Amino acid sequence: MRQRAIVFSVALTIFAIDRLTKIWVDQNLSAFDTRVVIPGFFNLIHSENTGMAFSILADASSQVRKVVLVGFSSVVLLFVAGMLWQAAPSPHRAQKVALTLVFGGAIGNLYDRVSRGSVTDFLDFYIGTYHWATFNVADAAITAGAILLGLEMLLQRDVKKAEA
């Protein structure tokens, strides 16, 4: 039970950091502000994404977006919570960390979708004219968790092949 408390506390900490950074952006950057942090590489900007990753569904009607995005996000959140509940007592540390990151980030973005109808994005990385899609702390946690989970699955597959 203690391990479950730890992983869910870490997920809630990710959610809190995501909320605090989005609140800061809402209070300190207008829609047209750009704060150069590292010239030629990193800016802070304030954008509102009504769609999902890479603005998918951003042009759909608000009712369709809300049903699809909140519904999809809720299902994914419940699925990940179940996986995390089962994984928490297991010795697979990478899996626990990955699921914790995904869960914490998913809570952050779902909160925004339900409470505001959009997600605040503000991290803008670029090189020259190439810009990565603007994202937030929740997106970074979800992405890092998904990559870690994918790597862990590949490594487990390789271990099973070697054992066979």
The CA distance from 70 to 39, in Å, is: 36
Nearest Cα to 109, choosing from 7, 14, 9, 5?
14
pLDDT at 123: 96
Catalytic center residues: 121, 139
**Structural domain tally of the chain?**
1
Quote the pTM value. 0.83
Which strand ranges, in their side-by-side order, compose the sheet holding 119-127? 34-38, 42-49, 119-127, 130-131
Which residue stretches of the chain have pLDDT < 70?
1, 51-65, 88-91, 158-164
Residue 50's domain comprises 2-163
